[in-house]
Amino acid sequence: MNKYHKPKVSVVMPAYNEQDNIEWFSKEIASQLKKAGVDYEIYYVDDGSSDNTAKIVTDLAKNDAHIKLIRLARNFGKEAATSAGLHYATGDAVIVLDADGQHPADLIPRFIEEWKGGAQQVIGIRTSNEKAGFVKTVGSKVFYMLSNALGAHVRRNATDFRLLDREVVDTFKDYTERKRMTRALLDWSGYETIFIDFEAKPRLHGVAAYSVRSLIRLALNGYISSTLKPLYIISLFGAVITVLSLFAAAFIIIEQVLLNDPLGLGITGTAVIGIFVMFLVGILMIAQGIAAIYIANIHLEVQNRPLYIVNRARSIISKDNRNE
């Protein structure tokens, strides 16, 4: 950030059928941005809404050059819409938030303060979401539990409500993978981050578009794109089963064949076949696991994430050296 020019902050909002939330919320955001004393632009990404969302934004934009509209050709989902906004935003920093007004705009000046103080990413942590139903509450608990177990490292209650420095946005633009959970990708990048708690507000108009089914799909995308552990678990199981069956076989051979059944177990042929089947299943699972490891490698190559990310703002390299 150049000290001598007024910094410009872009706000990016994915919007799907938010017609009743556009006017009041964009006003509130603009007044907060003015309060923070920055130049600004407000990007609405209309994610194929079937209501008047695009028309209302278009009308607003006619009278206010700060308002911009990216109109996706159909509904691509929030993750894609957010990515589109990040690709088009031009600010020195970009703030992403939901268009429905659930993310409190009055935190914007604080986000910007932290950014000016040197934070490269400011992330809103949701402390409560009263309106969330039982299924979503339990579902999110399970999601974070599994994330930890699988090593996907999604920070608990970290939301999409966040400010990103230009450098973080530029790095984000390099990601080509398709199945994505925007915030998991951003978390993977690293960068110096500050967390700010907030309480999610109730939705004033419209309905939450995310059904439980689409949330499960998003969670799966999050896992698949950020962890390979499930692939390795199969072969681990296989190995355990094989080893157990070998122990059982050794026991039978010693007890039954060599020592002539001193324990009087009278092990039957069926039991021997059972152990043999167990052995074979174990071998099959190991084989499957080996194939899975190759698939994991293909997955990583296709994902094509950057090999490393240089935190340029924190490095000592000449400005024009973009050796990446």
B/e letters for 271-285, b = 16+ CB within 10 Å, e = fewer, are eeeebeebbeebeeb
Beta bridge partners of residue 198, listed in sequence order: 126
Give the Cβ contact number of residue 263 at 10 Å: 9
Which residue stretch of 22-30, 98-106, 191-199, 295-303 sits at the interface with ligand UDP (rule: CB under 6 A)?
98-106
* Binding test (CB under 6 A) with ligand UDP, winner from 7, 14, 124, 238: 14
| Residue 74 tokens, joined | 């159909």
Which of Mg ion, ligand UDP, none interacts with 29 (beta carbon under 5 to 8 A by kind)?
A: none
Out of 88, 144, 195, 210, the only residue in the binding site for ligand UDP (CB under 6 A) is: 210
Instruction: Decide if residue 44 touches ligand UDP (CB under 6 A).
Output: no
Q: How far is CA 83 from CA 35, 121, 227, 279, 324, in A?
A: 27, 16, 21, 48, 22
Q: Which of 209, 272, 278, 283 contacts ligand UDP by CB under 6 A? A: 209
Residue 222 in contact with ligand UDP, rule: CB under 6 A:
no
- Residue 137 CB partners (closer than 8 Å, separation 6+): 129
In the chain, the largest separation of any two C-alpha atoms, in whole Å, equals 96
Closest CA to 307 of 171, 178, 200: 171
Q: Of Mg ion, ligand UDP, none, which one does residue 101 interact with (CB within 5 to 8 Å by kind)?
A: none
Nearer to ligand UDP, 75 or 256 (CB): 75
From candidates 32, 66, 67, 100, binder to ligand UDP by CB under 6 A:
100
Instruction: Please list every residue from 15 through 34 that binds ligand UDP, using CB under 6 A.
Output: 15-16, 18
Residue 180 contacts ligand UDP per CB under 6 A: no
d(CA 122, CA 129): 20
> What are the residues binding Mg ion (CB under 5 A)?
100, 102
> What are the residues binding ligand UDP (CB under 6 A)?
14-16, 18, 47, 75, 77-78, 81, 98-100, 102, 208-210
